Amino acid sequence: MHIRRSPRTSPTGVIFPTLASLAALLLAACSPGGGTGSATPAAEAAQAALPRATPSALAPYYEQKLSWRGCGVPGFECATLTAPLDYDRPGAGDVRLAVARKKATGPGERLGSLLVNPGGPGGSAIGYLQQYAGVGYPAEVRARYDMVAVDPRGVARSEPVKCLDGREMDAYTQTDVTPDDQRETDVLVTAYKNFAEGCGARSTRLLRHVSTVEAARDMDVLRAALGDRKLTYVGASYGTFLGATYAGLFPGRVGRLVLDGAMDPSLSSRRMNLDQTAGFETAFRSFARDCVRRPGCPLGTEAGEVGEKLKAFFEKADARPLPTGDVDGRRLTESLATTGVIAAMYDEGAWEQLREALTAAIEDDDGSGLLFLSDSYYERDAGSRYSNLMFANAAVNCVDMPAAFEGPDQVRSALPEFEKASPVFGEGLAWAALNCAYWPVAPTGEARRIEAKGAAPIVVVGTTRDPATPYRWARSLAAQLSSARLLTHQGDGHTAYGRGSACIDSAINAYLLRGTPPTDGKRCS
């Protein structure tokens, strides 16, 4: 399944003004890879650091100079970074990576570059920088740092992975992920196979080389090209996995790292999916308590009945999809409705919009509001064009770890555990975790602890009721990283920085600007 993010809030802590950017934050918590219900045996080992000295074969990449140019957005410059397609065979071809920056505005001494990543995997870091981080980060941070982003290999502007066209994606997103019989199971398996085959046919060269380890190595090449001795970085959701991987590979080059909405790299994909299922249930219960306190909650007047009524609505949409007024004739299927609801769990600021969408769907048979939420999650525009978010998301997840399940029988065996974790979402999220079983290339990674021994202090941020990256993951990552400082946000929503907590923001700002990390265990509301 995917690692998911937030509707209004970016994992790096900038408030998103619209749901159109939801997907960039949505994917990072639910990975498709696999194993058993807990950490795999490989997770008992820690990721090994690379040698301190740069291999001579990589010197041309590390010594390259970036040629900056205007890129259509006032105040921003763009460049192209070259990295080896395969770090084990640097002469076997290159990958070209898109980079953007907004130079420090002053006053005050420039502190270097601040690299940002909104998560995914598959979220465009450049889009995030240009639309949000470059203008929405605290003014004092933007004054002292060049704000920089690179789209990871396979993502957006950096040789994007391609899998399906718009009409094929429309069909894929409407596929029933709660099969009632063998025929529906076969349809779902065929959809996963067609998706995987499309990726294999249209992205043959790149598909084996979009791992998080390779993306982290690309970041070190970028660090050198920018002229920074150490990396300063803010990553959210999946961006925390990317940042932690960098720290594990290059602990001596860690500057100031903020990992907000942290993932736990020691978990198998199945365990990640199960934990995230429970996380969405926690967020949904918060939504339920809020909904019934407001007049006209479309799901009842008691928090305990909200889940049952929502599940009944999903079953109704499964039997008879709702009209939406969509120009392409799409109706609101159970799968699209579920995605729309899950999308709104990322940020409590979207709960009102969700209540209105559910009211229209349940009382007026109008699925347009939930379809809008679902389209925002998938980054689908009115012309039925999709970004490559979901393609890159699957590509990275499926190469990073073994598949969560090898076939439908394993999913069926796991259903009781998933439905216990979330009576509302468990069945669908369990079946969604089957997608990597049919991937055309073998995984190159596995679950491992990351210790990053010798790294400078790293700030790990967790939110207690985060749906996509459960709080327990932040605690686990902080326990693994040898120099971590755990910063806790007691609240709802995905990620914490820039979401309204002055306590969180001041702690992170002090770290970024003065190098003063918060006290380990600091809690904020």
The yes-or-no verdict on residue 403 having pLDDT over 70 is yes
Q: Which amino acid would we find at residue 151?
A: D
Concerning whether 237 is annotated as a catalytic residue, the answer is yes
Phi, psi torsion values for 145, nearest 5 degrees = -115, 145
Strand partners, 458: 257, 484
Where are the alpha helices (H) located in 159-268, listed in sequence order? 166-173, 182-202, 212-226, 238-249
Position 3 scores a pLDDT of: 40
Other residues' Cβ atoms within 10 Å of the Cβ of residue 89:
10
Taking each helix axis from N to C terminus, what angle separates 269-292 and 303-319, rounded to the nearest 10 degrees? 110
Task: Report the CATH fold assignment for 1-64+99-525.
Answer: Rossmann fold (3.40.50)
The yes-or-no verdict on residue 512 having pLDDT over 50 is yes
The model's pTM is 0.93
Alpha-carbon distance of 387 to 380, in angstroms, equals 7
Alpha-carbon distance of 389 to 290, in angstroms, equals 31
The yes-or-no verdict on residue 42 having pLDDT over 90 is no
Let me know: does 425 contact 443? Beta carbons within 8 Å.
Answer: no
Other residues' Cβ atoms within 10 Å of the Cβ of residue 49:
18
The mean per-residue pLDDT over the stretch 239-267 comes to 98
Q: Which residues contact 180 (CB under 8 A, 6 or more apart)?
A: none
The mean per-residue pLDDT over the stretch 307-311 comes to 97
Position 19 scores a pLDDT of: 32
Q: ∠ CA(248), CA(451), CA(511), 5° rounding?
A: 80
Let me know: does 468 contact 494? Beta carbons within 8 Å.
Answer: yes
Position 43 scores a pLDDT of: 52
pLDDT in tens, 86-116: 999 998 999 999 999 999 999 999 999 999 9
How big is the chain, counted in residues? Answer: 525
Q: What is the DSSP letter of 178?
A: S
The mean per-residue pLDDT over the stretch 429-446 comes to 97
The mean per-residue pLDDT over the stretch 478-484 comes to 98
User: 107 in helix, strand or coil?
Assistant: coil
Q: How confident is the model at residue 118 (pLDDT cuts 50, 70, 90)?
A: very high
Q: Rounded to a whole number, what is the largest CA-CA distance in the chain?
A: 67
Strand partners, 100: 78, 149
Position 71 scores a pLDDT of: 92
The yes-or-no verdict on residue 147 having pLDDT over 60 is yes
Query: Between these two residues, 301 and 16, which has the higher pLDDT value?
Result: 301
Position 14 scores a pLDDT of: 27
pLDDT in tens, 192-216: 999 999 999 999 999 999 999 999 9
Q: ∠ CA(517), CA(518), CA(521), 5° rounding?
A: 135
pLDDT in tens, 269-306: 999 999 999 999 999 999 999 999 999 999 999 999 99
Where are the alpha helices (H) located in 324-380, listed in sequence order? 334-344, 351-364, 368-378
The mean per-residue pLDDT over the stretch 20-38 comes to 37
Q: What is the 3-state secondary structure (H, E, C) of 473-524?
A: HHHHHHHHCCCEEEEEEEEECCCCCCCCCHHHHHHHHHHHHHCCCCCCCEEE
By DSSP bridging, strand 94-102 and strand 484-492 are: unpaired
The yes-or-no verdict on residue 23 having pLDDT over 50 is no
pLDDT in tens, 216-247: 999 999 999 999 999 999 999 999 999 999 99
Let me know: does 188 contact 181? Beta carbons within 8 Å.
Answer: no
Let me know: does 309 contact 320? Beta carbons within 8 Å.
Answer: no
Let me know: does 339 contact 173? Beta carbons within 8 Å.
Answer: yes
Alpha-carbon distance of 120 to 14, in angstroms, equals 16
Choosing from 237, 269, 387, 483, the catalytic residue is: 237
The yes-or-no verdict on residue 22 having pLDDT over 70 is no
Concerning whether 466 is annotated as a catalytic residue, the answer is yes
Alpha-carbon distance of 189 to 177, in angstroms, equals 10
User: 332 in helix, strand or coil?
Assistant: strand
Residue 486, H or E segment: strand 484-492
For the chain, the domains span: 1-64+99-525
Q: Which amino acid would we find at residue 108?
A: G
Query: What DSSP letter does each residue of 18-54 carry, written as one string?
Result: SGGGHHHHHBTT---B--SSS--GGGGSBPPPPPSSP
The mean per-residue pLDDT over the stretch 6-35 comes to 34
Alpha-carbon distance of 278 to 272, in angstroms, equals 10
Position 91 scores a pLDDT of: 87
Let me know: does 495 contact 25? Beta carbons within 8 Å.
Answer: yes
Pick left, alpha or beta for residue 457 (phi over 0 → left; psi -120 to 50 → alpha; otherwise beta). Answer: beta
Choosing from 2, 209, 489, 494, the catalytic residue is: 494
Q: ∠ CA(65), CA(66), CA(71), 5° rounding?
A: 165
Position 45 scores a pLDDT of: 83
| CA distances to 12, 194, 462, 497 from 506, in Å | 14, 48, 16, 9
Tokens of residue 455, six digits: 């790294």
Strand partners, 78: 69, 100
Alpha-carbon distance of 509 to 451, in angstroms, equals 24
The mean per-residue pLDDT over the stretch 375-400 comes to 97
